[in-house]
Structure 1
């Protein structure tokens, strides 16, 4: 594994998001002095917090899987996730609601899910689910060590026995087709393939290897931190500070100062300070990181970005009993909507929506008697869809259309029930300097996966490392946490493999509330 050259005693981490905080904790555990610089007044990055009208709103991801990866970061400084964050296991992990009026509670416990599938679609599909679950577990085991939790220096590093195992499992086929070998009911197939959108690729075109995300969602378990998702980065920041890190909030990095030869970063220059350093970890989105470095690596193919999203945060005076903590509301259309998103740059004509009701698990996130809802509608990014400028006029019309669609799907009276709201569109992501107006960064096409994804080392700078969803291993809370760990390993030269854990057996869950 290649590492940065020269001294690495003092590392400046740019950005206090999940990747930056994970890097900071692993660096601290390896004996480095760490300064974290964050432009916002609080930690979290994309996993931020908005306080409005007594509602505590998570501005970023709402689904937490694989929390043992966060626990690894805490363990680096001698702490435990469970001592700082109260994790609530979600049962069900999701509720899937379909256009025909049917619904399925998605459980991560195998017997409960077998019975749910049997009741929903019959014994043959239940048996198919059992086989699918075994396949997902094998897929995860084949990928974790050598394809996800690893620093690639060359595509040749793919040549391990796990590559043959992954090929034998059909990992290089198409995700939708492979899942179809186990289950035939189209509704069930959606439950185990919609996760491809996390990777920015339609299920019919995504590599079957990306079904590992379905493993994380439907096998390994889904959790919610009491106090909201922002409780995780806040706890990581607190642990880093307790371990000796200096955290500087409200400082925006303007440029990197270089040595006379230009091959080393010698200081990070903010709008108020000059911070000398021996190495730097950059976690902003790739265009920002490359701008600071003064160099964009050449690629044979232009980066393709994932679809974006419109998010309506709605504080309401009522809720709807058909909503679980997480509800996937599927439209009748399926394959055509992905073409709208990724090929034609159009808004979904029959959207599938993620509706999260965090107050189902933690009522304290809203004022007494009130409820908080997070409604995510995938939409085209600004490379192929409406521009950031266009969203200024489009946003209020799309909000009205979205609420009308929710009304049709049984959330009666939702518009009138809203007493506090925040609408986030690609224009907002663009203003936060996310490429193509998407918070999901580069899509996980084959040419942008593993060793072909933008690397966390950049030629021309000996002591800078990248972390975050744009680099390896990719998009999502688990992989972003790993990106910080991998970035730290580039500096320290140490690597701790993530040990797979059976669902429900991790020590992080001792004392967790349900």
Structure 2
């Protein structure tokens, strides 16, 4: 089957790898001049920047598409090192916790910070995380789900999930293990990746804590862009063209509504029996599917908060107290999330992430300098904030924060990315985190990766199943390829002659 993949981000490249492994004839179209999507590459002077995701977990989920594309040794294509610590957590009272790679070392960190009672509870917490992952991943994340009925087809699994408290609130569940509120923060903040405050997120999202804490955080050699670059290399060696600088303008359909191909912004038509679309879901319907109404969740759903990211190249090497990933927790917690998510205001006492890749990788910055990635969660564009006015004060607050935290702050190069910039990149409401993972927008209730009105059209990426984050979008690529395979098996013979599809003339 001839398949066109729209977008050479993580989900699109993963889908293409699995599709070529299934024997399909694949072409990838990417509007930017580099692969990776949000995991692309940014150079500011001599500083190398990862402009999107900076936390890599579950590298085996990258190995799967590489193997599907014929790579015998995936680790050689994308070498990674496990970070130890995964995070340096800094609390409002000045105390710190290192999230160590070895669980015995992490238990001792918990003992040092919070005392023997919480250290004893740490083992029970790890057991709970392990069992939750074992119950949840294969059944609810790593497979296509067509309806809520799919969740009850394995009653034993569903019963285990309920017994583990997976559908209860995450914040109280974490608090049931630990007395120290600082531990509630470091083991519960991960729900914000899914766009939901810990107090209201379902406990199933502790699977992200499991990925971070138990399975570990990794750094690919050369930065996060090495991840899409590895898949693009595998596709190139498999003979799959990845056309850069080509923007899709419309998914073409036959008279019966089924996919016929893609029209590019230059007016060229590329024939296809199926299309995998990785654009942000509301944008995909608006731009590529005239006359097809987006699902209700994509039109009127609850979207995750956004983030301001300040990319900085600074004079001065990172000090020995800094980690690769540094999380600074404000004193406000539930109140800060209420402001951010419920009232769509700036957090009154923000928590922030500072990633300093030059701690691990000196090639990310010139000698004696540092590359920094400073992230603060902010409301999406559904708020009243005017980022043409807010950007300057935000930059000054972040600069003062770096100075106070002992980070290199003699700025040489910089770029501030606001929700408006994310929107300009084609992300609905200016959030890179897509639909929030509320109960009604997760699992079988999340917009499907197929639209029955357009046979042969399949979606991948953070807006569809299974959701947000590097592991999830890599899985989404495989699930999309599985949908294409199912469609190929069910589709009637093509009306067009067999053979390779029309190639892009470039």
Q: Would you call these one fold, judging by a TM-score over 0.5?
A: yes
1:3 corresponds in structure 2 to: none
| TM-superposed deviation, 1:162 | 1.5
| TM-superposed deviation, 1:385 | 4.5
Cα distance in 2 for partners of 1:358, 1:98 equals 21
1:305 corresponds in structure 2 to: 303
* RMSD across aligned positions (CA): 1.3
Task: Kindly tell me the number of residue pairs found equivalent between the two proteins.
Answer: 479
Check the 8 A contact 1:391/1:427 in 2, yes or no.
yes
- Please say which of residues 55-64 and 78-87 is displaced more in the overlay: 78-87
| TM-superposed deviation, 1:171 | 0.4
Secondary structure of 1:46's aligned partner: helix
Secondary structure of 1:384's aligned partner: coil
Q: Is the alpha carbon distance of 1:62 and 1:298 closer, same or farther for their aligned partners in structure 2, counting shifts above 3 Å?
A: closer
Q: Does 1:41 align with 2:38?
A: no
Q: Does 1:156 align with 2:149?
A: yes
Structure 1 runs (4+) greater than 2 angstroms displaced: 296-302, 319-322, 405-411
Cα distance in 2 for partners of 1:405, 1:174 equals 32
Cα distance in 1 for partners of 2:29, 2:69 equals 20
Equivalent residue in structure 1 for 2:14, among 12, 18, 22: 22
Cα distance in 2 for partners of 1:437, 1:360 equals 30
Question: Counterparts in 2 of 1:207-226, with a 5 A limit?
Answer: 207-226=202-221
1:5 corresponds in structure 2 to: none
Secondary structure of 2:167's aligned partner: coil
2:264 corresponds in structure 1 to: 270
Check the 8 A contact 2:10/2:473 in 1, yes or no.
yes
| TM-superposed deviation, 1:493 | 3.2
The TM-score, its normalising length taken from structure 2, stands at 0.93
Check the 8 A contact 1:33/1:244 in 2, yes or no.
no
Cα distance in 2 for partners of 1:401, 1:365 equals 25
Q: Does 1:343 align with 2:342?
A: yes
| Superposed CA offset, 1:103-151 (max 9, x none) | 0100232111111111111111111111101100100001011100110
Q: Which runs of 5+ in 1 are unaligned?
A: 1-8, 495-514
1:451 corresponds in structure 2 to: 444
Cα distance in 2 for partners of 1:179, 1:76 equals 38
Check the 8 A contact 1:297/1:459 in 2, yes or no.
no
1:490 corresponds in structure 2 to: 483
Question: Counterparts in 2 of 1:231-310, with a 5 A limit?
Answer: 231-261=226-256, 263-272=257-266, 273-291=268-286, 292-294=288-290, 295-299=292-296, 302-310=300-308
Cα distance in 2 for partners of 1:90, 1:310 equals 25
| TM-superposed deviation, 1:410 | 3.9
Question: Counterparts in 2 of 1:75-90, with a 5 A limit?
Answer: 75-79=67-71, 80-90=73-83
Secondary structure of 2:412's aligned partner: strand
Check the 8 A contact 1:96/1:105 in 2, yes or no.
yes
| Superposed CA offset, 1:205-234 (max 9, x none) | 000111111000111111000101001101
Check the 8 A contact 2:358/2:364 in 1, yes or no.
yes
Q: Which runs of 5+ in 2 are unaligned?
A: 488-506
1:512 corresponds in structure 2 to: none
- Please say which of residues 33-42 and 110-119 is displaced more in the overlay: 110-119
Cα distance in 1 for partners of 2:22, 2:351 equals 44
Cα distance in 2 for partners of 1:182, 1:108 equals 20
Equivalent residue in structure 2 for 1:438, among 431, 448, 452: 431
Equivalent residue in structure 2 for 1:395, among 370, 391, 395: 391
Cα distance in 1 for partners of 2:382, 2:353 equals 23
Secondary structure of 1:493's aligned partner: helix
- Please say which of residues 420-429 and 158-167 is displaced more in the overlay: 158-167
Check the 8 A contact 1:155/1:451 in 2, yes or no.
yes
Secondary structure of 1:92's aligned partner: coil
| TM-superposed deviation, 1:405 | 2.8
Secondary structure of 1:316's aligned partner: strand
1:121 corresponds in structure 2 to: 114
2:161 corresponds in structure 1 to: 166
Check the 8 A contact 2:340/2:346 in 1, yes or no.
yes
Secondary structure of 1:56's aligned partner: strand
Cα distance in 1 for partners of 2:12, 2:365 equals 29
Question: Counterparts in 2 of 1:321-332, with a 5 A limit?
Answer: 321-332=320-331
The TM-score, its normalising length taken from structure 1, stands at 0.91
| TM-superposed deviation, 1:35 | 0.3
| TM-superposed deviation, 1:270 | 0.9
| Superposed CA offset, 1:144-190 (max 9, x none) | 11100110111100011211111110001100100111111000110
Check the 8 A contact 2:44/2:313 in 1, yes or no.
no
- Please say which of residues 155-164 and 292-301 is displaced more in the overlay: 292-301
